[in-house]
Structure 1
């Protein structure tokens, strides 16, 4: 089975410097704008026709740029930074993560992916209720996934294990 986590990390070209920038809370919280902007851009085909490709491209560019545009953090503070570093630990050390965390991450990832069905159908049919439901079904498990990554980070740091990449405390 394809490793969706590794695939997403490769697609985003995340390196040590990018992870440090993404651990900035501004990066984490503003990243939640990506899906609504993309949905609005796709919906704009009703008003813009083929010109909708421009806002779609801009939304996709924001998705890629977001973890790169904010200054890197020197220390991990707060929920957002711990969520990012927990995800990095999860990606790089999955075999070392407690099985209950791995199971929860998998369930939450697939739950979030399930939201794509009503979201895509809603965008295709211009059914706004399906779009809103699909977005909620996509975002809420993602937030819960991030919270699980905080737990992984806390377990990792609590065991005095070094963080991936540069040492951030």
Structure 2
């Protein structure tokens, strides 16, 4: 099972949650999750006993975020289409054109490298590794989301072509 499928499963992403997550507010506010999580872990010694409640609150925000916005009236925004493309990748992988998979492999490798860099930086409390890893993660995730838009648009065009015949 791929990471995307595992994440969807453990975040309990049913049809209603996916539709709500397609709200651009959900996508853009989700960008706060990584920096807040990194800040929490970075300042773990300062937080002391409060580290755990703050960490639990952040994990709660990660779970609640896709659920706390209403379904969007339109899905023509970049953010909405990134979510819809991710759904296609997870649940209808056969609809994803083959030319996307090499790029997705590169993005996955970058996400692994930057995650390791960020985690090592947090573990050793080393600012440059933490920041470079975090910036790399945000950029790689943005590249991933942009690829999901491309996948959605291609699948949407293909579906429209199939319905015309």
TM over 0.5: yes
- What is the total number of aligned residue pairs between the two structures? 160
1:75 offset after TM fit, Å? 2.4
1:73 offset after TM fit, Å? 1.5
**Runs in 1 of length 4+ with deviation above 2 angstroms?**
none
* Partner SS, residue 115 of structure 1: helix
Within a 5 Å distance, the mapping from 1:132-143 to structure 2 comes to 132-143=131-142
**1:110 match:** 109
**2:69 match:** 70
Does the CA contact (< 8 Å) of 1:21 and 1:68 recur in 2?
Answer: yes
1:124 offset after TM fit, Å? 1.2
1:102 offset after TM fit, Å? 2.2
**1:131 match:** 130
2:50 aligned with 1:51: yes
1:74 offset after TM fit, Å? 3.2
CA deviation vs aligned residue, 1:131-154 (integer Å, no higher than 9, x gap): 100101211111001001101111
- Is there any run of 5+ residues in structure 1 with no aligned partner, and where? 162-169
Distance 2:12 2:109 in 1: 22
Does the CA contact (< 8 Å) of 2:88 and 2:95 recur in 1?
Answer: no
1:110 offset after TM fit, Å? 2.4
1:12 offset after TM fit, Å? 1.0
Does the CA contact (< 8 Å) of 2:111 and 2:140 recur in 1?
Answer: yes
**2:39 match:** 40
1:76 offset after TM fit, Å? 0.7
Is the deviation greater in 34-43 or in 92-101?
A: 92-101
TM-score norm. by structure 1 comes to 0.89
Distance 1:96 1:24 in 2: 23
1:123 offset after TM fit, Å? 0.8
Distance 1:145 1:48 in 2: 33
Does the CA contact (< 8 Å) of 1:94 and 1:102 recur in 2?
Answer: no
Does the CA contact (< 8 Å) of 1:117 and 1:134 recur in 2?
Answer: yes
- Is there any run of 5+ residues in structure 2 with no aligned partner, and where? 161-165
TM-score norm. by structure 2 comes to 0.92
* Partner SS, residue 74 of structure 1: coil
